[in-house]
Amino acid sequence: MREIKHKRLILFNFKKYFNNTFILYSVSTICIILIVLSILKNPDQNIPAHPDEPNVVETAIRISDGSFNPEFFRYPSGHMNILAIIYKVSGYFNPEQTKEDYYFIARAFSRLCIAGISAMVFIICSMNMSSYFSILASVLTIFSTTLYTNANFVLVDIPMALFITLFFFIVTTLYSNNVWQLKYIILLAFITGVAISMKYTAALLIPSLIFVSVEYVHKQKKNIIPIIQLKKGLLIIGNSLFIISIITIIMQEALLEYFTGFTTDGILEIEYIRTLSNFSSLIMIAGILLIIFSLRDKLVKNEWVGFIFSPFHIFTIFILIIGFAIFSPFTLIEYKKSFADFMYEYRHMKIGSAAQYHHLSDEYKNIISNLSSTASGIFYMNLIYRNLGIIGIIISIYGFYHMYLRNPAYSITILIYLVLLLFTLLTWKNYAVRYAFSIFPIMIVFITHGLLIIYQKLSQKYSYRYSIAIFLYIIVLIHPISNLINQ
């Protein structure tokens, strides 16, 4: 009888704790969003204030007027569709909306996204750290030079960063509370699809998503293919990929001729040729590796092979596609136009302004010959330093190290995306501040964790806990605050 009462008491306390925690997070989130929105005031700006703004705003206006096809595919239309819905709703209250009204609404949405990022960073840190350090993380996000100064522009990178931060918020929930339920994987996959519908760069989340999906299969011990069937499946897939790569190489000219219809001007640029060549090489290597893998019994019998090659991951990718299709349906419907615009944007990222010229033209050759291989690296190093300072960078590395020691799988999930993003940015010859938006929320989480570890170690040696906390606050805040004052 006493044992039953004890169990009921535990259940009651758990529910009370859950409710209190939910209320605390909800109230804190609302407060942070309101504070950030009050700080990020809409300055007097020209219309447009950024070269990319007309593409987003004017496309959103057309969609809100009833033209569901955006007829613009350099980016997916997720951001534009969200703005179109907002424009439609606001039109009921103000039927005579002006150009200024549309830009004001779009910029207000950008500020709301930045506020949401700050709130989510607070909650992510609250799950693993004390509230005091979570508040510091939120303040660091608010004062991040890049996020603060770009909050008033209508850029697809801003909502993309919001959904990427939301992705890692769900990941933190999974690993912190150890709640490996199917609904969370579905939610993660759907959010990944939505993030990609804002901008294609968010596709770099897919390896992190697959990593989490593998971890889910590992935890649940479900959807695992028997070893004999797995060997046959790997052998069939490996042979198929190898044959496809051979066919692709043999029929390269015919395939290139077919892809001419996927270009913006009917001219097949060198990037199409390189992409097809790289694709052929990649699937050939993948095919050979899978064939070798299927013939090695020791490798196939390893339980992690069953987790990695589980059919459950197909379901995960399917949910991702649904998320993308809901927010950017015409990117799939008008696949020829969207692919052509995607390839142009890809060339623009890889080679900058040279993308405007044919690869055999003198202008193209002149620009390519003058491109620096280190310019993008120097640019992003300076950008990270300008936002976080040298102390912040060092503490972020220290914080990640201790996060890894505490929860390796969680840390690797974050690191996969961060490494892929940094590698991608460093290989692009075209660089801009907005491309790095999603880096800073992640690094601020690392910084906060590092500060907490330092605080805990110093508190064990010295009794002045509040003084130590204030000192740590100052050393990380002094750089972003000085940047804010000097603007």
Count CB-CB contacts under 10 A for residue 284.
Answer: 18
Q: Which pairs count as long-range contacts for 83-89, CB under 8 Å and 24+ apart, including other chains?
A: 83/56, 83/57, 83/109, 83/154, 84/60, 87/60, 87/61, 88/64
Instruction: Check if the beta carbon of residue 47 is closer than 8 Å to that of residue 100.
Output: yes
User: Are both 234 and 195 inside the same structural domain?
Assistant: no
The verdict on residue 400 lying in a domain is yes
Half-sphere exposure in the Cβ direction for 309 (13 Å, CA): 22
CA 244 to CA 222: how far, in whole Å?
31
The verdict on residue 265 lying in a domain is yes
Instruction: Check if the beta carbon of residue 212 is closer than 8 Å to that of residue 411.
Output: no
CA 291 to CA 306: how far, in whole Å?
16
Label residue 40 by pLDDT band (50, 70, 90): low
User: Are both 97 and 202 inside the same structural domain?
Assistant: yes
Report pLDDT for 261. Answer: 67
Q: Kindly report the backbone phi and psi dihedral angles of residue 437, in degrees, each rounded to the nearest multiple of 5, phi listed first.
A: -50, -45
CA 186 to CA 190: how far, in whole Å?
6
At position 213, the amino acid (one-letter code) is: S
User: Are both 209 and 252 inside the same structural domain?
Assistant: no
CA 48 to CA 100: how far, in whole Å?
10
User: Are both 171 and 241 inside the same structural domain?
Assistant: no
The verdict on residue 325 lying in a domain is no
Query: Domain span at residue 429?
Result: 2-222+373-486
CA 28 to CA 127: how far, in whole Å?
13
Instruction: Check if the beta carbon of residue 77 is closer than 8 Å to that of residue 328.
Output: yes
pLDDT tens column, 395-427: 999 999 999 999 999 999 999 999 999 999 988
Which residues neighbour 92 within 8 Å (Cβ) at sequence distance 6 or greater? none
User: Are both 35 and 166 inside the same structural domain?
Assistant: yes
Q: What angle do CA 384, 385, 390 make, to 5 degrees?
A: 130
Q: What angle do CA 308, 309, 310 make, to 5 degrees?
A: 95
What's the pTM? Answer: 0.86
Q: What is the DSSP letter of 434?
A: G
The verdict on residue 351 lying in a domain is no
User: Are both 188 and 253 inside the same structural domain?
Assistant: no
Query: Which H, E and C letters describe 317-352, residue by residue?
Result: HHHHHHHHHHHCHHHHHCHHHHHHHHHHHHHHHHHH
Count CB-CB contacts under 10 A for residue 38.
Answer: 9
Report pLDDT for 438. Answer: 92
Report how many domains make up the chain: 2
User: Are both 274 and 173 inside the same structural domain?
Assistant: no
Domain-terminating residue out of 305, 330, 360: 305
> Among 18-32, 43-57, 121-135, which stretch is predicted with the lowest mean pLDDT?
18-32
Higher pLDDT among residues 240 and 49, named by residue: 240
pLDDT for residue 217 is more than 60: yes
Instruction: Check if the beta carbon of residue 104 is closer than 8 Å to that of residue 154.
Output: no
Nearest residue to 120 via CA among 187, 171, 179, 85: 171
**Cα distances (Å, whole numbers) of residue 297 to 206, 230, 292, 293, 307:** 29, 11, 10, 8, 16
User: Are both 391 and 447 inside the same structural domain?
Assistant: yes
Q: Once rounded to an integer, what is the mean pLDDT over residues 114-126?
A: 88
User: Are both 281 and 141 inside the same structural domain?
Assistant: no
Report pLDDT for 3. Answer: 42
The verdict on residue 352 lying in a domain is no
At position 276, the amino acid (one-letter code) is: L
Label residue 263 by pLDDT band (50, 70, 90): low
Domain-terminating residue out of 305, 326, 344: 305
Nearest residue to 120 via CA among 81, 150, 161: 161
**Alpha-carbon Rg for the chain in angstroms:** 25
Label residue 1 by pLDDT band (50, 70, 90): very low
User: Are both 64 and 212 inside the same structural domain?
Assistant: yes
Report pLDDT for 164. Answer: 96
User: Are both 38 and 170 inside the same structural domain?
Assistant: yes
User: Are both 288 and 188 inside the same structural domain?
Assistant: no
The verdict on residue 313 lying in a domain is no
Structure-block tokens of residue 18: 């859950």
CA 78 to CA 109: how far, in whole Å?
13
Structure-block tokens of residue 148: 């603060």
Report pLDDT for 7. Answer: 39
Nearest residue to 113 via CA among 55, 56, 177, 175: 56
